[in-house]
């Protein structure tokens, strides 16, 4: 087996700092005009992972100068009460972005939540208006943060995307579908030939071995193995999966959708997990928020 080094790692944390610096510059211009971007988080229930994720986003806001507010609603909240609170935040001029943290309780209709958000404050990019703009190639909307983060990872790592064979594993509404739409646009960092694979795809391994860029977003621990990857391919691991591990604190740990140890030696470039896509997702959320604040003032 080839010697494993860090030479082919795509450092998501370092690239996220590049995006953060650009966002800081935008915020500085807004502050000079008396406008501080505001971001509201809504968390329903006490899911441990949700608490951690929102906490990370709050800290990132504080570092960049975004005023954040977190509202925690009980697990048993009625849908109409959640939608009412979103509508109130839509009308609040000090709030420029709203993020409703997933997962939501099973009695809450996620589509109704996304539909209630103002498209101008939907910095997570899931309102039908923003998703439609993405599909149409209209830059006026907000792109979902993880797909946008993946695209920026590729761009800022010098990965040629135009004309590349890209295979996306996973057809979810949060990553797979919007990412495929984003990478096939006629635009910088796109112009790829995209294959979107899923659990019913035939010869899945064969599709993967064709890929110049392989993006795993299936939610299946260590699904992508070395035998599925073309030597020299760029591999992006979006997956977040908790698996049992008696040696880890709490008896479990997080792993991606890629068997990192097996795939890294043959990949041209690869994202670590953690430290790859995750930091970029947060960076794009804050970038979207700063842009939403600027748009609110006609800037």
CA pair distance 215, 211, nearest whole angstrom: 9
Write out the E strands in the chain.
38-44, 67-73, 97-100, 165-169, 193-197, 213-216, 234-237, 241-244, 252-255, 269-270
Active site residue 269: no
Note the residue count of the chain: 299
Do 33 and 27 contact (CB within 8 A), yes or no?
no
Annotated catalytic residue, options 11, 67, 92, 101: 101
Tell me the C-alpha distance between 76 and 59, whole Å: 27
The answer to whether 121 is a known catalytic residue is no
Q: Helix, strand, coil: what percent of the chain each, to 5?
A: 40, 15, 40
Other beta carbons within 10 Å of 195: 16
Of 7, 36, 47, 57, the active-site residue reads 57
Respond yes or no: is residue 101 known to be catalytic: yes
Give me the half-sphere count of Cα atoms (radius 13 Å) on the Cβ side of residue 74. Answer: 4
Q: Assess contact for 271 and 153: CB atoms under 8 A.
A: yes
Active-site entry in 121, 122, 124, 151: 124
| Pair 183, 220: CB distance under 8 Å | no
Provide the annotated active-site residues. 57, 101, 124
């Amino acid at each position: 087996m080839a010697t494993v080094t860090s030479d082919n790692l795509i450092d998501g944390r370092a690239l996220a700092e590049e995006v953060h610096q650009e966002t800081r510059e935008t915020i500085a211009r807004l502050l000079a005009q008396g406008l501080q971007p505001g971001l509201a988080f809504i968390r329903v229930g006490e899911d441990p992972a949700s608490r951690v994720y929102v906490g990370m986003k709050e800290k990132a806001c504080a570092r960049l100068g975004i005023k954040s507010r977190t509202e925690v609603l009980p697990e048993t909240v009625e849908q109409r009460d959640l939608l009412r609170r979103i509508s109130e935040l839509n009308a609040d001029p000090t709030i420029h972005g709203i993020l409703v943290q997933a997962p939501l309780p099973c009695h809450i209709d996620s589509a109704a939540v996304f539909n209630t958000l103002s498209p101008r404050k939907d910095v997570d990019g899931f309102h039908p208006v923003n998703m439609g703009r993405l599909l149409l190639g209209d830059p006026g909307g907000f792109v979902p943060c993880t797909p946008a983060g993946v695209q920026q990872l590729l761009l800022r790592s010098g990965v040629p995307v135009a004309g590349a064979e890209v295979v996306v594993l996973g057809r979810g509404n949060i990553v797979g579908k919007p990412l495929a739409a984003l990478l096939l646009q006629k635009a910088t960092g796109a112009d790829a030939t995209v294959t979107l694979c899923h659990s019913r795809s035939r010869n899945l391994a064969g599709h993967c071995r064709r890929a110049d860029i392989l993006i795993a977003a299936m939610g299946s621990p260590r699904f992508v193995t070395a035998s599925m990857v073309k030597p020299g391919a760029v591999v992006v691991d979006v997956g977040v999966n908790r698996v049992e591990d008696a040696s880890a604190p709490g008896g479990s740990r997080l792993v991606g959708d890629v068997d990192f140890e097996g795939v890294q030696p043959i990949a041209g470039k690869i994202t670590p997990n953690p430290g790859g896509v995750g930091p970029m997702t947060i960076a794009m959320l804050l970038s979207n928020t700063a842009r939403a604040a600027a748009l609110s003032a006609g800037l």
